[in-house]
Amino acid sequence: EATVRSITWAQVAGNQALPGQLLRLHFHDCFVKGCDASILLDNAQSEKTAPPNGSLGGYPVIDAIKAQLEKACPGVVSCADIVALAARDAVSYQFKAPLWQVETGRRDGPVSLASNTGALPSPSAGFNGLLQSFAAKGLDVNDLVALSGAHTIGKASCSSVTPRLYQGNATSIDPLLDSTYAKTLMNACPNSPTSTSTVDLDGATPFKFDGSYYTNLQNKRGVLASDAALTQNAAAATIVNDLTNPIKFYAAFSMSMKKMGRVDVLTLKNGQGKIRTKCNVP
């Protein structure tokens, strides 16, 4: 773990976008066929090639860590464990201490298919759709709200935001979006189908891992429709209010990350998976 931490922290020190990228990489890995590093495989039909994964980043950090670990202890640490550890360490850089414990012992899966990425929750999903996506992975409403807090860092592609701003015409704004904030988002995201622009998921403190995401939700300043959806269900809205307290958020997030890190894992005990030598090659 010390090797993973030292490489991750050195990289994050020079690139404040990395915590959001590595956290998202871990999430997108676990939600498709479990936490098996299938997101890292390269082939013509791999998960990487699917639209929801087009804007993922952080791959070079995973490769750098893997190369170092293979030198030190060949064939011991899986790419799946590296993804989980690097996500934790990137977020924890801000605190200079691990925010949650990562269980290890995952094995790497052999299959990566773009067609499996339908399991990922859509940024335009309503509350029931989100809850179903999470329930399919053994996660509940507490996990849904806590893990959505990952949007306290990172960016969204404008293509995920513009449907809320330009609903059929230039003036129709999603009523769940604060109108002043909508203007800010319109400046960042013009109504262009070819735009490759991005916008901060947390307009208040975009590079700080804190509870401001939940305060944004209370103020109708969630960037994605799936963010705003959390305020449209009574149970979820109660949790949102609770997690504006950063101490409660860190505790809930840590618990839910551990749960997510167990989703459909492959283990040696079950005779599944392998440990890849190179993370992008089966």
Distance between CA atoms of residues 45 and 48, nearest Å: 8
Distance between CA atoms of residues 279 and 212, nearest Å: 35
Tell me: the pLDDT tens digits for 28-60? 999 999 999 999 999 999 999 999 999 999 999
Q: State the total domains in the chain.
A: 2
| Active-site residue, from 5, 24, 28, 88 | 28
- Does residue 202 have a known ligand-binding role? yes
Q: CATH number, domain at 210?
A: 1.10.420.10
Supply the pLDDT for residue 247.
97
Other C-beta atoms within 10 Å of 179: how many?
9
Q: Tell me if residue 26 is catalytic.
A: no
- Does residue 143 have a known ligand-binding role? no
> Is residue 276, in this structure, part of any structural domain at all?
no
Residues 55 and 144 in one domain: no
Distance between CA atoms of residues 22 and 102, nearest Å: 14
Supply the pLDDT for residue 270.
87
Domain final position from 92, 120, 148: 120
> Is residue 73, in this structure, part of any structural domain at all?
yes
What six digits make up the tokens of 159?
């293509």
Q: CATH number, domain at 22?
A: 1.10.520.10
Tell me: the pLDDT tens digits for 199-253? 999 999 999 999 999 999 999 999 999 999 999 999 999 999 999 999 999 999 9
Residues found in the chain: 282
Distance between CA atoms of residues 78 and 71, nearest Å: 14
Q: Going by C-beta distance under 8 Å and a sequence separation of 6 or more, which residues neighbour residue 112?
A: 38, 39, 40, 41, 43, 45, 46, 47, 48, 282
- Does residue 246 have a known ligand-binding role? no
Supply the pLDDT for residue 193.
74
Residues 150 and 252 in one domain: yes
> Is residue 93, in this structure, part of any structural domain at all?
yes
Residues 111 and 21 in one domain: yes
Nearest-CA neighbor of 230 among 122, 151, 148?
148
Domain span at residue 216 reads 139-257
- Does residue 210 have a known ligand-binding role? yes
Supply the pLDDT for residue 192.
81
Domain final position from 51, 86, 120: 120
The helix (H) or strand (E) run that includes residue 180 is helix 179-188
Supply the pLDDT for residue 171.
62
Residues 25 and 76 in one domain: yes
Residues 157 and 247 in one domain: yes
Tell me: the pLDDT tens digits for 111-148? 999 999 999 999 999 999 999 999 999 999 999 999 99
Range with lowest mean pLDDT among 76-85, 92-101, 187-196, 249-258? 187-196
> Is residue 127, in this structure, part of any structural domain at all?
no
Supply the pLDDT for residue 169.
61
Beta bridge partners of 200: 155
pTM: 0.96
Distance between CA atoms of residues 93 and 12, nearest Å: 7
Residues 154 and 219 in one domain: yes
Q: Going by C-beta distance under 8 Å and a sequence separation of 6 or more, which residues neighbour residue 275?
A: 75, 76, 77, 78, 79, 107, 108
Residues 93 and 167 in one domain: no
